[in-house]
Structure 1
Amino acid sequence: MKPLVGVTVIELARVLACPFADMILAELGATVIKIEQPGTGDETRSFEPQVGDESAYYFACNRGKQSVTANLKTDAGRRIVRELAQRADILIENFPVGTLARYGLDHATLRADNERLVYVSCTGFGQTGPYAKRKGYDTVFQAMGGIMSLTGERGGGPVKPGLPIADLTSGMWIVIGLLSALNGRAMTGKGCHIDFSMLDGQVSLLTLAAGRYFALGEVPPRLGTEHPGRVPSATFACSDGAFVHITCSDQHWLPLCKLLKLDTLASDPLLATNAGRVEHRERVMDALTQAISGWTRQALCDACDAEGVPAGPIKNVAEVLADPHVRARGMVSEFEHPGVGTFGALPLPFKFDGFANPEVVRPPLLGEHTEQVLRERLGYDAQHIAALRRDGAI
């Protein structure tokens, strides 16, 4: 049995953050009913890259769900969502502030029919505050939340990470909040409303950077791959044009100097501790950069492994997905899709002992489960369903 079997989630959300959260819940065993607009569905179904008539973007964060079409601009469409919410454990939405209240699908309204409902509102800036009505996307939250200011080469301009970090981490924050609320409901018998702001989520991630500011009044500068409080911790260029990232604590310093034949650095008492190496950062980094430039990536990684020095090659996506350890851990999988055939997928990174492990399940076709859900969960008969379809409600 999977750990979330028996939990029902209604997804009134689109694009990435909330769908990613719901995919995690689905592959942990929850039944996730994704409400989509008839005819078009979640707009990411049209996002690039396209695989046949489907979107790899949609595939990446909508696996394992049931797709039900419901037109929220119709009374009948809104009634479907209300009736599903009466029978659900969780509802997740990412509409602009106030939108669902106009539809009668806000937390206050739905709670009247189901006080056990855990209702998540995910917005860019939250339900309150001076920015509550503002619009935003992942990169806007990265910019305003500080991570872009920390990312980039020394002396260069800000750079966004190569993945939509604000969206992905927001999805993880949402899952944490939901599981906490379910545990609380088990004790009180009542659900709750979770007001989650994607900007709040990014501010919470500042952690160590904020810690330096609180302790030192320091606004951390961009340092490329270097660490503000640890030396060495950086990426170095090798003779073959590849890169290796090395991070050392004090116990690794002398082994690193030994393998690189940096006897002068090894014998210098000023560099024996991390504090000293931070103070003499430029000298240490210059020496390491020069010494490592004569090594190939593989030779350096092998030597670091032999000496117990933490190091790793900088790999591109293709190299990561072909890595034998990644493969041995089952982190590359696939699913069969009726329109696309076999397609690759990244499983959830959990290995349970005591529950069934998550499985990769294909994403749904648009509206694939509409009739099944209306019939089995709401008791609609064929005539009622046909009328809803004729009227454009589904």
Structure 2
Amino acid sequence: MTRPLENITILDLSRVLACPFASMILAELGATVIKVEQPGAGDETRSFEPQVEGEGGTESAYYMAFNRSKQSITVNLRSPEGQELVRKLSAQADVVLENFPVGTLKRYGLDYARLSEHNPGLVYVSCTGFGMTGPYAPRKGYDTVFQAMGGIMSLTGERGGGPVKPGLPVADLTSGLWVAIAILSSLMGRHATGKGCHVDFSMFDGQVGLLSLAAARFFALGEVPPRLGTEHPGRVPSAAFRCRDGKWVQVTGSDQHWKPLCDLLGLHDWAEDPALSRNIERVRRREEVMAALSAAIGQLDRDEFCRLCDAAKVPAGPILNVDEVLTNEHVLARGMVREFDHPQVGAFKAVPVPFKFSGYDDPSLARPPLLGEHTDQVLAGRLGMTREQIAALRDKQVI
């Protein structure tokens, strides 16, 4: 068997998180990803904390989290010779992925219009903060800026409190998923038509695109959703509850779960109340219902309560810390913690791409590349360059 993207080549000019995350997913699904890095320094995340020390040197855990299974070449994109190398490599590629500021690669002669002249089937994805057009196109931004402007931060936080960012770089991570979707859909379109395309993806657009339910409530009700902590604006119960042992549990139930939840908590009068059997009434009486549930759940230890919910088929789950997640029996049984061997730091654990295939091999998990590790191999194997030609480019600091 093979992996589904075995015959796809991606020339990855991107750096930091969102696009490297996308290209890593596709690499582990079988694509050949050639990551182009700056000579001497590489992707700036190679210097990011935390640094992992090993017998052979150090490497950034941040870099390793988003750059597994790729090849690394070093090319100075500011030099005409380096630009020509990228043009030649792009002529053989299926995809070019970049996240430079708007207009940068056009100045280098590496924009879609130029590269597609010699490769009309090329899929070229530009990931920028605010897109190639619109009044914000020149603006700079980072993950938290897009979270703030895209609405998610306004929705996150406790009742009456200030806005809170999620504990993960949600704008970066979801942008990586959007980019992967864009690449795969464009490749499918090319398969049907033979034509490539340019994808203009804005990370700000990506966050607006996630508003989904909040947008639907605004369009339907004119509602600007308030911060509700872990509670759901249109469903009760759906919230985190503190248990007797100080641990937390998330309960999310629909109408069919209301009676069994009340019964297991000893709230039998509520279980038989026909009005409370309907979510619309529980939402109307939110404060009363949440107070009673909080008091009842607070009389039980978390694991005991979860066992009772499982037995009654009430959807509930413990709120696990990262260490608990990564040692959880189900996570381990599903193979969601794996390991690669790195020449500098040795064995290092990682979270794999979460697909299980029947008919294809499952996604791989290979180590990230050393800086420029594959430069000679790629230039010789793909462009037919001799050792002398490669050495001359290195002497001129092109690679």
Q: Which moved more, 1:18-27 or 1:259-268?
A: 259-268
1:105-161 deviations in whole A, cap 9, x for unaligned? 000000101001000000000000000000000000000000000000011000000
Distance 1:265 1:127 in 2: 56
Distance 2:382 2:375 in 1: 10
Distance 1:6 1:262 in 2: 60
Equivalent position of 2:201 in the other structure: 196
TM-score (norm 2): 0.98
Q: After the TM superposition, which segments of 4 or more aligned residues of structure 1 sit over 6 Å from their partners?
A: none
TM-score (norm 1): 0.99
Equivalent position of 1:13 in the other structure: 14
1:337-388 deviations in whole A, cap 9, x for unaligned? 0000000001100000011110111000000000000000000000000000
Give the 5 Å matches for 1:298-337: 298-337=303-342
Distance 1:77 1:66 in 2: 17
State which of 375, 392, 396 in structure 2 corresponds to 1:391: 396
Equivalent position of 2:218 in the other structure: 213
The question of 1:102 aligning with 2:107 is answered yes
Equivalent position of 1:73 in the other structure: 78
Partner SS for 1:44:
helix
Distance 1:323 1:187 in 2: 43
Equivalent position of 2:166 in the other structure: 161
Equivalent position of 2:267 in the other structure: 262
The question of 1:84 aligning with 2:89 is answered yes
Equivalent position of 1:114 in the other structure: 119
The question of 1:3 aligning with 2:4 is answered yes
Distance 1:250 1:232 in 2: 10
Aligned length: 394
Distance 2:89 2:7 in 1: 15
TM-superposed deviation, 1:188:
1.1
1:6-56 deviations in whole A, cap 9, x for unaligned? 100001110000000000010000000000000000000000000022100
Distance 2:69 2:149 in 1: 33
The question of 1:93 aligning with 2:94 is answered no
Give the 5 Å matches for 1:242-261: 242-261=247-266
Equivalent position of 1:41 in the other structure: 42
Give the 5 Å matches for 1:22-41: 22-41=23-42
Identical pairs, percent: 68
Q: Which residue identity lines up with residue 201 of structure 1 in the other structure? A: G
1:46-85 deviations in whole A, cap 9, x for unaligned? 0000002210000000000000000011111111111000
CA-based RMSD: 0.5
Equivalent position of 2:357 in the other structure: 352
The question of 1:146 aligning with 2:151 is answered yes
Partner SS for 1:365:
coil
TM-superposed deviation, 1:167:
0.4
Q: Which moved more, 1:72-81 or 1:195-204?
A: 72-81
Partner SS for 2:73:
strand
Partner SS for 2:326:
helix
Distance 2:253 2:24 in 1: 37
Distance 1:299 1:218 in 2: 38
Structure 2: gaps of 5 or more residues: none
TM-superposed deviation, 1:190:
1.0
Distance 2:295 2:190 in 1: 59
Q: Which residue identity lines up with residue 84 of structure 1 in the other structure? A: L
Distance 1:60 1:34 in 2: 15
Partner SS for 2:383:
coil
TM-superposed deviation, 1:217:
0.4
TM-superposed deviation, 1:272:
1.1
Equivalent position of 2:136 in the other structure: 131
1:167-186 deviations in whole A, cap 9, x for unaligned? 00001001111111101101
The question of 1:382 aligning with 2:381 is answered no
Distance 1:390 1:80 in 2: 15
The question of 1:366 aligning with 2:367 is answered no
Q: Which residue identity lines up with residue 149 of structure 1 in the other structure? A: S
Equivalent position of 2:344 in the other structure: 339
Distance 1:268 1:187 in 2: 57
Distance 1:267 1:254 in 2: 7
Distance 2:205 2:270 in 1: 44
Distance 1:171 1:74 in 2: 29
Partner SS for 1:269:
coil
Distance 1:25 1:359 in 2: 10
Distance 1:101 1:359 in 2: 35
TM-superposed deviation, 1:264:
2.3
Structure 1: gaps of 5 or more residues: none
TM-superposed deviation, 1:187:
1.2
TM-superposed deviation, 1:270:
2.1
